[in-house]
Copies of this chain bind each other. A is one copy, B any other.
């Protein structure tokens, strides 16, 4: 999966090398490339492999057909997604509107988030990181917030407490 952050240059043709580890993560996908869209939540792009798109399609398909949230997601997410194919050296070309949305000028940062990744203007991302760390530090001092993060139960405990997991372990289907 997608892990770690790395910074890359974006050349005059809007090409950028996708981190080798990310390419490795999508090696078994049917197509040689990544799916990316301008995120609605801020000046950054979100992307991933086949599985990443499937997850959005699934989430959207679960909503009622004429639900406003569904229609919005279809247009903003599915309508925004573009498949970016790797060239022979593992680069992709960013569409101009993506570059504008993320305010990328020369350098960008890939931030791995397990099942997906983000692409930021390199400087913006670097600045954000400090704020994010400070916020986390502050928030997790609140026991209630800390508890949301797993509450201290490890897998063993979960297995003992969860009927679903127990069922699974007995070979039943979800």
Contacts and interface: CB of A to CB of B under 8 A. Distances in A.
Interface of A: 1, 3-5, 21, 35, 40-42, 51, 53, 55, 57-60, 62-63, 66, 69, 72-76, 78-83, 111-115, 118, 128-129, 132-137, 139-140, 145, 148-150, 153, 155-157, 159-161, 164-165, 168-169, 171, 174
Number of copies: 2
A115 B79 contact: no
A160 to B, nearest CB: 7
A55 B115 contact: no
Chain A interface mostly helix, strand, loop or mixed?
helix
A83 B3 contact: yes
Q: Which 9 A-B pairs have the closest CB atoms?
A: A40-B133, A79-B111, A4-B82, A74-B113, A40-B136, A59-B150, A5-B79, A3-B81, A72-B132
B148 A63 contact: yes
A143 to B, nearest CB: 11
Contacts of A66: 41
A132 B81 contact: no
Contacts of A1: 161
Contacts of A136: 40-41, 69, 72-73, 76
A80 B161 contact: no
B155 A75 contact: no
